[in-house]
């Protein structure tokens, strides 16, 4: 797979000023301000292949949004190299942006008081699309998202889910090779999220590369083929989703509904993750210490249960452990 994004030793440093509280400290700051250097991104390197869906994850303030802004060309790096489709984003921004799209869940591209169709026509002019190109792509998206009656209404009267569909159309009208998604499903209901994810998968199948930042780990589980985790400005993980799952070893979650209380679960490789009540437990099982069949057999000997379910380790738990290991 050919790399469409190459990042080497990317660093972004900000200079800010320390300011105390209270009147005296405020007056003092007029005459002497103490400089503070903030390293938002520190020596980050990674590659993303053409046609991939890559998730860039990290807690608030980790540096992932700063990384995305540098990749889109809206921020200059302090040092390091970037190459996206053969372009250096911050140096060739005028040409570069005609090949990328962006959807920001908390910032709209649509004009609030006019119908989305008028906003689409605005993008048609910005990207110099022919009438034939515009109509062909728009008709495809209208059918895919069922937008026929929606795009004629003022944006302000649309639901969040309807607006987000139109945001994707705005970002994709010029058929970009790369689309940056920042919290694309934030605030959406379950049905709207599934439709957005289905759309991303369909566009990816046709060759579009997606870079996704999100706090909704279900987006990552359902979409991402590659995961990059940034914490405190540094890359702490860069591999496939499967490798991320194996990061904590081979573990499973067992949910137990008992018929009578039990004193303890004293089994090698088993620990109580959560006690919901005297009759309901969630256990974390380390399969490197014991096989799942052995554990189920020993649990049957130890206690009586009316229901049992076995699941994969939640993605939240895996990623939280990576965050905490870097603190």
Domain identity same for 73 and 215: yes
Query: 262, exposed or middle or buried, with CB in 10 Å at 0-12, 13-18, 19+?
Result: middle
Domain identity same for 321 and 216: no
Domain identity same for 230 and 256: no
Domain identity same for 54 and 91: yes
Residue pair 173/126 in contact by the 8 Å Cβ criterion: no
Domain identity same for 214 and 305: no
Of 245, 267, 291, the domain-final residue = 245
Domain identity same for 153 and 288: no
Residue pair 148/159 in contact by the 8 Å Cβ criterion: no
The tens digit of pLDDT for each residue in 88-122 reads 999 999 999 999 999 986 778 899 999 999 999 99
Residue pair 245/314 in contact by the 8 Å Cβ criterion: no
Tokens found for residue 206: 């046709």
Q: For residues 290 and 31, what is the distance between their CA atoms, to the nearest angstrom?
A: 66
Domain identity same for 157 and 227: yes
- Residue 82 carries which DSSP code? E
**pLDDT digit of tens for each residue in the chain (327 aa)?**
789 999 999 999 988 877 766 767 666 766 677 788 889 999 999 999 999 999 999 888 889 889 999 999 989 999 999 999 999 999 999 999 999 999 986 778 899 999 999 999 999 999 999 999 999 999 999 998 889 989 999 999 999 889 989 999 999 999 999 999 988 888 788 888 888 899 999 999 999 999 998 888 888 889 999 999 998 899 999 999 888 877 666 788 999 999 999 888 888 889 898 999 999 999 988 888 888 889 889 898 888 889 999 888 777 778 877 777 765
Q: For residues 204 and 179, what is the distance between their CA atoms, to the nearest angstrom?
A: 10
Residue pair 97/84 in contact by the 8 Å Cβ criterion: no
Q: pTM higher than 0.85, yes or no? A: no
CATH code where residue 104 lies: 3.40.50.300
Q: What integer pLDDT is reported at residue 175 of this predicted model?
A: 95
Domain identity same for 282 and 236: no
What is the residue whose two structure tokens read 């790399």? 3
Other CB atoms closer than 10 Å to residue 264's CB: what's the count? 8
Domain identity same for 255 and 238: no
Of 218, 245, 272, the domain-final residue = 245
Q: Which of 150, 152, 137 is nearest to 192 (CA)?
A: 150
Q: What integer pLDDT is reported at residue 23 of this predicted model?
A: 67
CATH code where residue 260 lies: 3.30.70
Residue pair 103/152 in contact by the 8 Å Cβ criterion: no
Q: Which residue range forms the structural domain that includes residue 298?
A: 249-325
Other CB atoms closer than 10 Å to residue 75's CB: what's the count? 18
Helix-strand-coil split of the chain, %, nearest 5: 35, 30, 30
Name the 3-class secondary structure at 190: helix
How large is the angle between the packed helices 116-126 and 160-172, nearest 10 degrees? 20
Q: Which of 267, 268, 280 is nearest to 306 (CA)?
A: 280
Of 245, 275, 292, the domain-final residue = 245
Q: Which of 234, 235, 239 is nearest to 224 (CA)?
A: 239
Q: Which of 67, 58, 33, 35 is nearest to 236 (CA)?
A: 58
What is the residue whose two structure tokens read 């869906």? 53
> What total number of domains does the chain contain?
2
Q: What integer pLDDT is reported at residue 268 of this predicted model?
A: 87
Domain identity same for 175 and 132: yes
Domain identity same for 15 and 124: yes
Tokens found for residue 304: 């009586």
Domain identity same for 187 and 158: yes
Q: What integer pLDDT is reported at residue 20 of this predicted model?
A: 64
| Alpha-carbon distances, residue 273 vs 227, 252, 282, 320 (angstroms) | 26, 11, 5, 15
| Residues 6+ positions from 325 with CB-CB distance below 8 Å | 236
Tokens found for residue 209: 């590369």
Alpha helices in 174-308 (DSSP H): 190-205, 217-223, 241-245, 292-302
What is the residue whose two structure tokens read 């400005």? 233
Q: For residues 168 and 242, what is the distance between their CA atoms, to the nearest angstrom?
A: 28
């Amino acid at each position: 797979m050919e790399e469409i994004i190459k990042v080497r030793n990317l660093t972004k440093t900000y200079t800010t000023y320390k300011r105390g509280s209270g009147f005296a400290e405020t007056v003092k700051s007029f005459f002497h301000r103490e400089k503070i250097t903030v390293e938002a991104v520190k020596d980050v390197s990674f590659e993303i292949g053409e046609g991939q869906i890559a998730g860039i994850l990290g807690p608030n303030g980790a540096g992932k949004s700063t990384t995305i802004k540098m990749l889109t060309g809206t921020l200059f790096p302090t040092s390091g190299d970037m190459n996206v489709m053969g372009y250096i984003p911050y140096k060739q921004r005028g040409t570069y942006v005609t090949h990328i799209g962006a959807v920001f869940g908390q910032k709209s591209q649509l004009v609030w008081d006019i119908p989305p169709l008028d906003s689409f026509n605005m993008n048609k002019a910005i990207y110099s699309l022919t009438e034939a190109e515009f109509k062909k792509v728009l008709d495809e998206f209208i059918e895919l998202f069922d937008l026929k009656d929606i795009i004629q209404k003022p944006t302000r009267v649309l639901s969040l889910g309807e607006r987000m569909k139109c945001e994707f159309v705005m970002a994709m009208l010029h058929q970009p090779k790369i689309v940056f998604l920042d919290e694309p499903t934030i605030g959406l209901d379950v049905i709207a999220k599934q439709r957005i994810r289905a759309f991303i998968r369909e566009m990816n199948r046709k060759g579009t590369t997606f870079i996704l930042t999100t706090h909704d780990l279900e987006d990552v589980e359902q979409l991402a083929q590659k995961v990059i985790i940034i914490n405190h400005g540094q890359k702490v993980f860069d591999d496939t989703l499967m490798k991320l799952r194996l990061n904590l070893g081979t573990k499973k979650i067992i949910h137990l509904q008992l018929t009578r209380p039990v004193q303890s679960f004293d089994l090698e490789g088993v620990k109580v993750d959560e006690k919901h009540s005297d009759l309901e437990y969630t256990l974390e099982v380390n399969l490197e210490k014991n096989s799942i069949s052995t554990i189920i057999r020993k649990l049957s000997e130890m206690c009586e249960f009316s229901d049992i379910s076995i699941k994969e380790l939640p993605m939240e738990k895996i990623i939280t452990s990576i965050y905490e290991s870097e603190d």
